[in-house]
Each structure stands twice: as C-alpha cells, then as structure tokens.
Amino acid sequence: MKRDTPRVARIKLAQNAYIERMGKINTLVTSRVNDWLESTGVRQVALGQSLGISQPQISRRLKGQISWTLGDVEKLAELGALSTPLIDEGDDE
C-alpha cells in the first residue's frame, strides 16, 4: 500500500480537523435552534419561511441529515435564534 507524502498527510489531517470542527458547529447550531423553537413557540413552517426554505428542509437540518448553510446561520442570528457566539475567539477545540 502506497504511503502518503508528508505534505499529503498534513493536508488530510487539516481536512479531517476542518470536517470535525464544522460538524461540531452544525450540532451546536441545531441544538440552539431547537431550544429557540421550543422557548419561542415558533413552528418549523414559520422558520422555513423566514429562512426562505421549506419545512422539510428545516426538519432535515434539525435531524442532522443536512448541514445549516452560512446564509441560514446569518438569518438565524438576525432572528435571535443564535444570540451568543457559536465559537469563542481563540477556541482551538
């Protein structure tokens, strides 16, 4: 089996770290949106209308089947669903 060059190994390591980090952020967004929906009584249909996507797309995001987009996150912040930073400055986890 062919071994990766050191450069390729570093790139793969960085890609894996990025994918893991984005997964954590997506999970955090989902958790905060679920909490916000529950505390405000906003329904998935209304959230979808605010984000410009369908209720089934909201449901898939809340189930973790698809990821939130940057546009979704921006609109969620404008709606108040993400009232605190998702990551802290200097957070290396």
**Entry pTM:** 0.80
Please spell the DSSP secondary structure of 2-64, one letter per residue.
PPPPHHHHHHHHHHHHHHHHHHHHHHHHHHHHHHHHHHH---HHHHHHHHTS-HHHHHHHHTT
Mean of pLDDT values over 12-35: 93
Band the pLDDT of 83: cuts 50, 70, 90: confident
Q: Is residue 92 part of a domain?
A: no
What pLDDT does 89 receive?
53
Residue span of the structural domain in which 56 resides: 6-79
**Domain presence at residue 12:** yes
Tell me the CATH number at 14: 1.10.260
Q: Mean pLDDT, to the nearest integer, of 12-36?
A: 94
Of the pLDDT bands very low, low, confident and very high (cuts 50, 70, 90), residue 91 is low
